[in-house]
Amino acid sequence: MHEFRYERPATVAEAIRAVAHDPEADFLAGGTTEVDLMKDGVFHPDLLVDITRLPLRGVRRDGTMLQVGALTTMEELASDRTLMERAPFVVEALLRGASVQLRNMATIGGNLLQRTRCRYFRDPAVPACNKREPGSGCEAVNSVARMHAILGASPACIALHASDLAVALVALDAVVHIQSEEGERLVPLTQFYLMPGETPDRENVLRHGELITAVDIPLPPEGTRSIYLKIRDRASYEFALASAAIAVIMDGPVIKEARVAMGGVGTIPWRGFEAEEVLREAPATPDTFRSAADGTIRDPFIVPGTAFKVELAKRTLIRALTEVTS
Amino acid sequence: MTTLTVNGTEYPLDLADPRVTLLDALRDRLDLTGTKKGCDQGACGACTVLCDGRRILACLTLAAQCDGREITTIEGLESHPLQDAFVRHDAFQCGYCTSGQIMSAVALLGENRAGTDADIREYMSGNLCRCGAYSNIVAAVREVARHA
């Protein structure tokens, strides 16, 4: 592991200042991605600023919204009673997202910033990775690929965004609070992530020295039904091949309102706006679900190893819609 | 100087070089080798310990982050019923994952989540056993959970 200095400032302002004034500094929270990638030699910060004891922890209800401190752990958020009652699919996404040990360490802010599991990104011995070394190419496109993205992908990068939580949160239009020395800004999670395009190394709108301090989760109206369906290679403790986060309001057999997002398929947590348009005011029938799926999985970028995901993702969405509306 | 409290004993720790994980501090500095290094990348659960009563992975935790925290390792258990149950149910072959399995199961009992076999499997899924002793591990945990 590259040598680094370790600091534990007492306030949010000091932590932000410490990182902002050192281009090689990074915040350290749960460490479940960061320490791992430092051991692998993918990250090599000179300074780690430990933020785990800053007062950014806890869940607060504010009207029809939950405000979640960025340092709340996955396990803590998963046990929030309001979330369980009003948006159980967020809890399902949290519980299916990692083992209890990891959930006790990993924070909500860190979860949103987790890095891809692409094995070529995580192995510095692989020379070609545009995300790790801009301009070096993409080994995944030409080699063995499977746990990779088919939506938002390009010949420059097919790295998957592996979060489960973020999928449910983009469906609910969560909002990220970002603090810097200049002040606070709010960014909707649907606009937080960047598709790789020509700059796969830029994954989100955060600038150096900016810190996520909280996430606002709007609670869906009472009576909303929701589901997080995760399809994977083993029953537990595995990343998604495809997942669907859906919230619907039904009026008899008709879908009044729908929120759809998919995981396991996108370079970013994938909001299914097209599916929502198809579903709104439509009867809950197999034909409706198939058109919603066709609308979501449009123009996929596939390589031989990921071709199977096109139909798998559609069937995942159809099954989730069938279960949540019946 | 960092202070680690492990199994009730305070240990001063020189972390001038902070690249020391909790796992390496336990094994190499404090000679508490009951906690095992399996994958060393957060995938196997062999290094599971309790931090302030919650189960975590020692391999992805920097020792510096545990300053002032209460760490419990397998050496801190005083003939816990789970240890006896693991022996009687033959819940291991090579034994390398066992201390992590037991620490994880101790936490699981405290979380009140061992209701069904399916629950035990789900909430123990962060602990891998390459020997495949899973069915006996579930039996051992189930037995202690029922009598708790």
What are the extents of the domains in chain B?
A: 2-76, 81-147
Which residue, among A60, A64, A76, A65, has the nearest Cα to A108 in the 3D structure? A76
Residues sharing a CB contact under 8 Å with residue A63, sequence separation 6 or more, in sequence order = none
* B116 interfaces chain A, CB cutoff of 8 Å: no
Scanning every residue of chain B, which has its alpha carbon at the shortest distance from the alpha carbon of A32?
B60
CB within 8 Å of chain A, chain B residues 51-80:
51, 54-57, 60-62, 64-65, 67
Query: What is the β-pairing status of strands A254-263 and A270-271?
Result: antiparallel
Asked if the structure places residue A237 within a domain, the reply is yes
CB spacing of A237 vs B125 below 8 angstroms: yes
Structure confidence by residue, pLDDT tens digits, A217-255: 999 999 999 999 999 999 999 999 999 999 999 999 999
pTM of the model: 0.97
Task: Domain B81-147: give its CATH code.
Answer: 1.10.150.120
Q: Is the pLDDT of residue A295 over 80?
A: yes
Tokens of B121: 């499997």
Residues sharing a CB contact under 8 Å with residue B139, sequence separation 6 or more, in sequence order = B89, B91
Instruction: Give bridge partners of residue A231 from the DSSP assignment.
Output: A242
Q: How confident is the model at residue A122 (pLDDT cuts 50, 70, 90)?
A: very high
Asked if the structure places residue A36 within a domain, the reply is yes
Q: Which of B15, B21, B54, B69 to mutate to test the interface with A (most CBs of A within 10 A)?
A: B54
Under 8 Å CB pairs connecting chains A and B tally to 75
Q: Answer whether B144's CB lies under 8 Å from B86's CB.
A: no
Structure confidence by residue, pLDDT tens digits, A138-183: 999 999 999 999 999 999 999 999 999 999 999 999 999 999 999 9
Residue entry with tokens 């096109």: A310
Question: Rounded to whole angstroms, how far apart are CA atoms A81 and A66?
Answer: 11
pLDDT, mean over chain A: 98
Scanning every residue of chain B, which has its alpha carbon at the shortest distance from the alpha carbon of A75?
B54
User: DSSP character for B93?
Assistant: S
Q: How confident is the model at residue A130 (pLDDT cuts 50, 70, 90)?
A: very high
* B37 interfaces chain A, CB cutoff of 8 Å: no
DSSP string, A80-111: -HHHHHH-HHHHHHHHTTS-HHHHHH-BHHHH
CB spacing of B42 vs A75 below 8 angstroms: no
Domain total for chain A? 2
Enumerate the residues of chain B whose CB falls inside 8 A of the CB of residue A100.
55, 104, 107-108, 111, 123, 126
Which residue, among B63, B58, B51, B60, has the nearest Cα to B18 in the 3D structure? B63
CA B31 to chain A, closest CA, distance in angstroms equals 22
pLDDT given at position A20:
98
Enumerate the residues of chain A whose CB falls inside 8 A of the CB of residue B17.
3
Q: Is the pLDDT of residue B36 over 80?
A: yes
Structure confidence by residue, pLDDT tens digits, A9-67: 999 999 999 999 999 999 999 999 999 999 999 999 999 999 999 999 999 999 999 99
Q: Answer whether A215's CB lies under 8 Å from A76's CB.
A: no
Q: Residues in chain A whose beta carbon is closer than 8 A to a beta carbon of chain B? A: 1, 3-6, 8, 28, 31-32, 35-36, 39-40, 48, 50, 52, 75, 98-102, 104-105, 235-237
Superfamily of domain B2-76: Beta-grasp domain (3.10.20.30)
Of A50, A75, A236, the CB nearest to B65: A50
For residues B62-73, average pLDDT: 97
CB spacing of B41 vs A98 below 8 angstroms: no
Q: What is the CATH number of the domain that holds A18?
A: 3.30.43.10
ipTM above 0.95, yes or no: yes
Q: How confident is the model at residue B147 (pLDDT cuts 50, 70, 90)?
A: confident
The range of the structural domain enclosing residue A24 comes to 1-53
Structure confidence by residue, pLDDT tens digits, A62-83: 999 999 999 999 999 999 999 9
pLDDT given at position A307:
98
CB spacing of B17 vs A100 below 8 angstroms: no
Q: Is the pLDDT of residue B148 over 80?
A: no
Structure confidence by residue, pLDDT tens digits, A191-221: 999 999 999 999 999 999 999 999 999 999 9
For residues A113-130, average pLDDT: 97
Scanning every residue of chain A, which has its alpha carbon at the shortest distance from the alpha carbon of B46?
A101
CB spacing of B57 vs A50 below 8 angstroms: no
Residues sharing a CB contact under 8 Å with residue A4, sequence separation 6 or more, in sequence order = A38, A44, A45, A46, A47, A48, B18, B19
User: DSSP character for A227?
Assistant: E
B69 by Cβ neighbours in 10 Å (0-12 / 13-18 / 19+) ranks as middle
CB spacing of A100 vs B62 below 8 angstroms: no
Q: Is the pLDDT of residue B1 over 90?
A: no
Q: Which of B57, B61, B108 to mutate to test the interface with A (most CBs of A within 10 A)?
A: B57
Question: Do B2-76 and B81-147 have matching folds?
Answer: no
